[in-house]
Structure 1
């Protein structure tokens, strides 16, 4: 069964080799896509070979008997406008790609060979182990990976999920009695079987044409009639629960998790007991567990639901982000959780609550919108393992089987004696260290006193089940379309302090819309203090309105309120039926301007902690943040923002908010299933926060302007052994021609850059070259994070690659790259939200003709190989405008050359001119 809003055609096949295949015909799609999901993952690693399934995923990209060149697949996909990737989870390995629609047959043939005749070239096996090692080392400071490493030590060693997942040079090393290549072959030959594969192919061809294409390509995939063994071992050994697991994180992370091993309910997807329960425990409205935790100053956020699943069981998880007080009183947090679960147990299953969820899910399926083809096929391929054929498209949305007894059984298992309580904080006491990530931790049975405290009455607290959700849509009628109001938005209100743009949607025709408001002010980003206070203010407002915006979110109404470079944006999107009810409530809260002192303090501290945790981010991300700060006026480093937040209290924040709104102007877009009178209603509501009078002068956005031939170097400190180099090359100017030439350069570079520096030279796991315009000022970036090479070596490798780009390019390849880029620029918006975002960005840039895509595409098409080559030679080689941001890692070595060295992003901005942009 497919959504009434989905006009694609589907066909489900089972090939002679028992591979199940879903074909999707979409004649209008600009991109074709395919995904193959095999029900084999890290949980299937042979004992003692942690990471083997993940390593196998890497190796399948590196050449087949039919296409032996390891660069061939990557090159073909990139030259024809596509992307490719894969992931390995505990139970699945999923391979996927997209490509310009006309090239699906050739791409699919290359893809099919992964599962028919991979080469496992011995030299590449040795090289690619280094890539796995790089990925492993990259995660050494990742608290999510560190947490999993510790959790696996708490698991029953007989359970397959207790194995190391990523892999390393140690776990993938050759052994006297067995080479890793032999074990790869054995693993592939025994477990990569067609009967446990699910394939999804989406293309512009008819279903008959897709079937004629796919069947001969994938029928040769061998069927070994693989059968999974049942997992009889419990996730936690008998007698191990209840227990307290304490973890010392790398970052200043205050996290409490309570984990409950349950049965496997994935076959009960029509009932979805875990979804029902997760919705109750994770609710954020009045009377919720989170509401009480916030009232007591113990928590900032909460999430609940089923995450980990395996053949025979699942793990229900409740995760709470704690305040400092919450860490000190984590037993109280656990007590309140069990008190809330007792409320749920005593109330019993509520069919009306189940029906609310079912109704929202049904509406979501009924008005399901198009996703990116590559994401759509990857999701479907995984889902096919769990849903009946007739439910493949709808399974995730089904709640058609209310089973009260099943719901009672599930909640009955959420008790203290079946809980693993996990506390992440730097203050915890530890006595062990995890084997792969070196994480300090301790694991001990919960004491009798702890259990008694968790089970004790929480006192007089107002815990309750959610009230009926008033935001669930009642009216899904489509408004009449006025042909004068379709097409590009029109400015229907133009006052000194308020402008409103309006357009009706006549293409997607769903009862939804986008209502965006940009509140601009000169007080948003001219100093670190302004930036910090604007961010804190928006966080406080989001927290203040959360109890009533959360039910709206559940009902399909999305709300966001956030700081940007020139002010604050408010966005409401989703079903149009109740949007103005929600908007009125939010604007009234904003206009009232009252803040609770304790909540301001808790949020302020949480923001400071988040900024301090930047040191635990991936090194490449930290360096990239430094690059961004160097280029953009209004971007500030973590320490400057921390200092500003430390000097902000409730009174300071109140004064800032008052001054902001006194200086604010509003520009709005109303696009979708609306009628024109909605803009008048919006204008009246905006009067609650936007004053009358002449608007203040708004400063323009500014981007650092590098000079011709400049070689700038900015060394940064990152606490990590890996070196990182982000090499930014700015275009020669800010014209459409500059933007086109720079974007095309990035398109031409990205495949070869990855292949040469990642696959061949094995410089690191993160190896990327990409276009990176800042407020449309063109630029490109080469980025490598390396555990094996210093900054000077990375710069030399990048420079050598740049010098060879033209020599590796012929006219035919140039034409393919040019066409791929033009196709991507001109790609039609696939849903209402992409269209709204395009309109909104065009308005922000004052491109009121809404022709930016056409301008850029025309400039790309006008380039010849000769004219592009001349631009490349002059502006990216001989007279490059260059900025290298480098973290030297354990080597302490910087790129060589006569460069101007800067000590901070502020120095770079202070010593340069800038582009002024709208």
Structure 2
């Protein structure tokens, strides 16, 4: 266990007089419900800094965005921008050891990360507010004096290579590579963004270290950066911190030139591309290349077009294609975009019939586009979207400091200064000229039709990721057909009946309420209600858990329940699409105990939406054709799930092994092989014959509305007067002092190992100790096995509670290290950790306790998080809603000696542990050993 203390790096700086920055804007345009204060300043080196004072947060955050990404990679060092992102964490002149910055952030309740995009890179962290200055001192040095030590370059190159190899079978990466190799080679999009050992080489005349320094000196300068600081500190304090720590960033360098090359050559448009996936897939991506749309952000023209073309209500393009049996899903408007390009994509899940008739699908899409070009889109379509965007801006949920800082730093590179906050929500007016220009580009002759299916003929393989594909021109007959209307009437959306009329929260009835109350009703319904006195917005959350013993007691029942949820969502999709457009979201999904429903968003029409969902849930009529499509799609999805993701597969096996009601995808797929529509129709009513319901109504609704919802639930679900037997929430118990093991095989070259150490009681003390151990272990485990030993790219540990019983999970996935060595590395780490834990410095011990206590007791940042917390408490029978406080109190009182004793017992001497391993081979069911000796824990907590 390594310890570091950066305090000495800031003492001299803290006493230095702080000059003022140049003020650019004082308080930006913001939501009426946003209580934060903003100030935009510029430092002497040209760095623009947005300061955000948020008195309600306990954590401060910083985010630095750079106007450079993998587009700036040299042709002979592709992936260099991404590699530089890694290397900036590998030590600075002030703190040469790589673990100092991440350890300090983690020890003080924070987190850090970074990402590299096409034209931007982003670094960010948060930390408890009192340690913000010290965290900034470390963070700023990443951009002032990175070391780029050769030994760390060599080690981190292994990590980038591992990251590349881990994704060799990733379908998105494989498809993305086809996209790159069928685009204009003169455009920077075609460069290999991730990089690997082959593209990042040490050249005698230009070492990798020199290339990193050149890239850093060229692009990482103040005028090419934007910084955001968020915290409870005053604006003056934040300004002082920005000046003190970031004024030494280099002032000058290069700014990326405008991209002149088009994304596609003429020969790469008006084409059909075949892609052969590893997994079973039947998809089409119809791409319509557009010019860059960065300057359209105040009008959101493409957003409007995407809404109209992707609409799923009655008579829509999607509805008609579904009724013809050609597609199961369609979305419009997504696709890559950058400073001089925008792909407007139709992403379509085809049926097998739809694949055979993809020309018809394309024809109807182009018919819809031509229909749009003849319509007046300003009213009511633009006005409705404008109204919803304005409501979303007015009632946007507060987000955590880290998310806010990262989001705003990127906005600073995209939007005008006074639009930094509101830019994502702006829809000033309908830009008719822009709509006309964009629609004019959406022609069959410019289209790229990408078909994804294992049966398609191919004749090429990509240089990276080995994806088989073919590209060929669309025929003249196809182009002629795409330019003619079919004999199908497509309808544009009518006025949306779900747009909220009530724009204020309902009156607060009981201002003393701070926790949910259990309302009286029938015994089979537990209805909890909470009218939020703090987040006074016209929004809410309705959670329902339908406890259905017959839905989860076997693999067959669970498979039936999942198919039924998909059928219900399919039926609701068209009927309730307007509700989603109007700011309400819903989901129906099976879980361990039965079926759950969640509705969120604007509250006014949620009871009506709930009624529609319940009617669909208990109406056992269904479309047999849709049943076959969903059964077919689920079958292949379950066969493919985690097939090429060893660690994720081990996580699934862990849950399936130890928790009742959890199943592996391949097992569920087998259940679908014999499922037919007739037997399905007979079985589903039986699944719903026994039911208990637990519900939470949380938001701006007063108690009388919640009671009406309860009466509706009782009536629509025919809840009886007495409760049914609830499903058992069982956990399989591992034997203390004995290690069990499960081995799996997957068609992936990486080795993967996971070790699960199970808690031996469900006491508050056990939970508190495991949570605290996980926090202390995390930085050391990552640093030693990932950074120091370079065992793999995916390395980590997690606190994993199972129905109230805590556990610790350690995992590593490696492209080059065998199972035995990975197991020894984990075992050796645990032994060293337990040996060194008693010597943990008192300051780090107190910091660790403080961090975990803060995580448990921090105030909810928004209504969504609060409702989620309440619902989680209800689901584990924490009906006093005080488990977090009880655990925090135990941690606060805990001694290092007592935690050491628990660690040695639970992780070493008498640990109840399960090893899970995975190697390359044919997919197999998880072999399980010695299960006859397992106990079963039926206790709920």
**TM-score bracket, shorter-length normalisation:** over 0.9
2:509 paired with 1:490: no
> Which segment drifts farther, 384-393 or 654-663?
654-663
Name 2:849's counterpart in structure 1. 818
Describe the SS at the equivalent of 1:494. coil
2:221 paired with 1:190: no
**532, 536, 548: which one aligns with 1:509:** 536
> Which segment drifts farther, 733-742 or 675-684?
675-684
CA contact (8 A) 2:275 2:450 kept: yes
State how many pairs are aligned: 908
Q: Structure 1's 891 and 873: CA in aligned 2 closer, same or farther, altered over 3 A?
A: farther
Name 1:913's counterpart in structure 2. 935
Name 1:545's counterpart in structure 2. 572
Describe the SS at the equivalent of 2:266. coil
Name 1:872's counterpart in structure 2. 903
2:145 paired with 1:117: yes
**899, 904, 909: which one aligns with 2:926:** 904
Query: How far 1:242 moved relative to its partner?
Result: 0.6
Query: How far 1:484 moved relative to its partner?
Result: 6.5
**300, 304, 323: which one aligns with 1:276:** 304
Name 1:330's counterpart in structure 2. 358
**873, 880, 884: which one aligns with 1:842:** 873
Describe the SS at the equivalent of 2:413. coil
What does 1:327-726 align with in structure 2 at a 5 Å threshold? 327-459=355-487, 461-483=488-510, 486-686=513-713, 687-726=715-754
Name 1:897's counterpart in structure 2. none
Name 1:885's counterpart in structure 2. 916
CA distance in 2, matches of 1:825, 1:239: 58
Superposed CA deviations along residues 460-494 of structure 1, whole A, max 9, x for unmatched, are x2311111111111112222212267221111123
Superposed CA deviations along residues 560-588 of structure 1, whole A, max 9, x for unmatched, are 11111111112222111111222222223
> Which segment drifts farther, 417-426 or 297-306?
297-306
Name 2:317's counterpart in structure 1. 289
Query: How far 1:344 moved relative to its partner?
Result: 1.3
Describe the SS at the equivalent of 1:457. coil
Name 1:755's counterpart in structure 2. 783
Name 1:899's counterpart in structure 2. none
Superposed CA deviations along residues 198-223 of structure 1, whole A, max 9, x for unmatched, are 11111111000110111121111102
2:195 paired with 1:178: no
Superposed CA deviations along residues 642-688 of structure 1, whole A, max 9, x for unmatched, are 12222222233322331233212222211211122212321332212
CA distance in 1, matches of 2:474, 2:904: 67
Name 2:95's counterpart in structure 1. 67
Superposed CA deviations along residues 108-157 of structure 1, whole A, max 9, x for unmatched, are 11110111110001100011011000110011011101111111001100
2:54 paired with 1:26: yes
Query: How far 1:909 moved relative to its partner?
Result: 5.5
Question: What is the RMSD of the two structures over their aligned residues, measured on CA atoms?
Answer: 1.8
CA contact (8 A) 2:68 2:121 kept: yes
> Which segment drifts farther, 482-491 or 375-384?
482-491
2:67 paired with 1:36: no
Query: How far 1:697 moved relative to its partner?
Result: 1.1
CA contact (8 A) 1:258 1:422 kept: yes
CA contact (8 A) 1:297 1:602 kept: no
CA distance in 2, matches of 1:344, 1:354: 13
**93, 100, 106: which one aligns with 2:134:** 106
Describe the SS at the equivalent of 2:551. coil
Runs of 4+ in 1 over 3 A off after TM superposition: 889-892, 902-911
CA contact (8 A) 2:511 2:533 kept: no
CA contact (8 A) 2:644 2:748 kept: no
CA contact (8 A) 2:545 2:594 kept: yes
- For structure 2, the 5+ residue unaligned runs are 1-28
Superposed CA deviations along residues 32-53 of structure 1, whole A, max 9, x for unmatched, are 1111110111111111211110
Superposed CA deviations along residues 316-372 of structure 1, whole A, max 9, x for unmatched, are 111111222222222222222112212212224333101111110100010111112
Describe the SS at the equivalent of 1:825. helix
CA contact (8 A) 1:256 1:422 kept: yes
**115, 118, 130: which one aligns with 2:158:** 130
Q: Structure 1's 791 and 476: CA in aligned 2 closer, same or farther, altered over 3 A?
A: same
2:72 paired with 1:50: no
CA distance in 2, matches of 1:891, 1:756: 32
Q: Structure 1's 141 and 546: CA in aligned 2 closer, same or farther, altered over 3 A?
A: same
Describe the SS at the equivalent of 1:441. strand
> Which segment drifts farther, 515-524 or 579-588?
579-588
Query: How far 1:812 moved relative to its partner?
Result: 2.3
CA distance in 2, matches of 1:157, 1:559: 43
Describe the SS at the equivalent of 1:303. strand
Query: How far 1:910 moved relative to its partner?
Result: 5.5
CA distance in 1, matches of 2:349, 2:535: 39
CA distance in 1, matches of 2:674, 2:334: 41
Describe the SS at the equivalent of 2:359. helix
Q: Structure 1's 655 and 860: CA in aligned 2 closer, same or farther, altered over 3 A?
A: farther
